[in-house]
Chains A and B, each alone.
Chain A
Amino acid sequence: DGGITQSPKYLFRKEGQNVTLSCEQNLNHDAMYWYRQDPGQGLRLIYYSQIVNDFQKGDIAEGYSVSREKKESFPLTVTSAQKNPTAFYLCASSHDAPRAPYGYTFGSGTRLTVV
């Protein structure tokens, strides 16, 4: 079955470390997205990519980096420059644009905690 796989499910980061969150999809979707969700808040867009080798900053890109070398993969690196990285990170994908009736398909998320 097609879907999006995020790994790991839980991740613990020490102060000053960079960590990379994996996101892989086999839906043949062109576009992929990274969102962050904090408790009681909505999803905020970090980065998105509509095509291989191209990506755009979202609303809160500072302290994060991404790459899109393959259509199936869109890893997110949380760098030491991100001062408050503890959050629930969600990866999503869509056909060329997230139009009705399909919207996004989400992965199951990675819960990142700074220790």
Chain B
Amino acid sequence: RKEVEQDPGPFNVPEGATVAFNCTYSNSASQSFFWYRQDCRKEPKLLMSVYSSGNEDGRFTAQLNRASQYISLLIRDSKLSDSATYLCVVGSGGYNKLIFGAGTRLAVHP
């Protein structure tokens, strides 16, 4: 079983749609959680950290369920510029490195 699992997609949605990505992780000792965005042939960039209380940044909302070891990202009012691959990232139990999911590809069309 992979340490971080994501639906690879692609998710093809029209502009203005709401889209949700899910992720599960296997290490119950993990303490830090993130969503990164990666554009084609570019480096990943931090989108947001994820906390148990849930957190929101504009059109983006992230949720963490520690009991189910499940992380989600909700994007509202999708823009063309949201087209990218979204990486679910989990800290190792030892705090010393991050483990990346394979990513979910999003394509927003006019």
List the interface of chain A (C-beta within 8 A of B). 31, 33, 35, 40-43, 45, 48, 50, 58, 88, 90, 97-109, 111
**Which residues from chain B contact A101 at a C-beta distance below 8 Å?**
49
User: How far apart are A51's CB and chain B's nearest CB, in angstroms?
Assistant: 11
Known contacts A99-B32, A99-B91, A50 near B49 by CB under 8 Å: no
Complex contact B32–A100 (CB within 8 A)? yes
Contacts of A50 in B (CB 8 A): 96
Count of chain A to chain B residue pairs whose CB atoms are closer than 8 Å in the complex: 65
Scan residues 54-105 of chain B and give those whose CB is less than 8 A from a CB of chain A: 87, 89, 91, 95-103
How far does the Cβ of B92 sit from chain A's closest Cβ, in whole Å? Answer: 9
* Residues of chain A lying within 8 A (CB to CB) of residue B4: 42
**What is the size category of the interface that chain B forms with chain A?**
20 to 34
With most chain A CB atoms within 10 A of its CB, the pick from B51, B89, B97, B103 is B97
Cross-chain contact of B103 among A42, A106, A109 (Cβ < 8 A): A42
Q: Please give the residue numbers on chain B whose beta carbons come within 8 Å of chain A beta carbons, in ascending order.
A: 4, 8, 31-34, 36, 41-46, 49-51, 87, 89, 91, 95-103
Q: Chain A nearest CB: distance from B81 CB in Å?
A: 19
**Contact status B43-A106, CB under 8 Å:** yes
Q: Contacts A41-B102, A42-B101 given: A103-B89 contact, CB under 8 Å? A: yes
- The CA-CA distance from A102 to B46 in the complex, in Å, is 8
Could you list some 12 contacts between A and B, CB below 8 A?
A42-B100, A58-B97, A98-B91, A98-B95, A99-B32, A99-B95, A101-B49, A103-B49, A103-B89, A104-B46, A107-B43, A108-B42
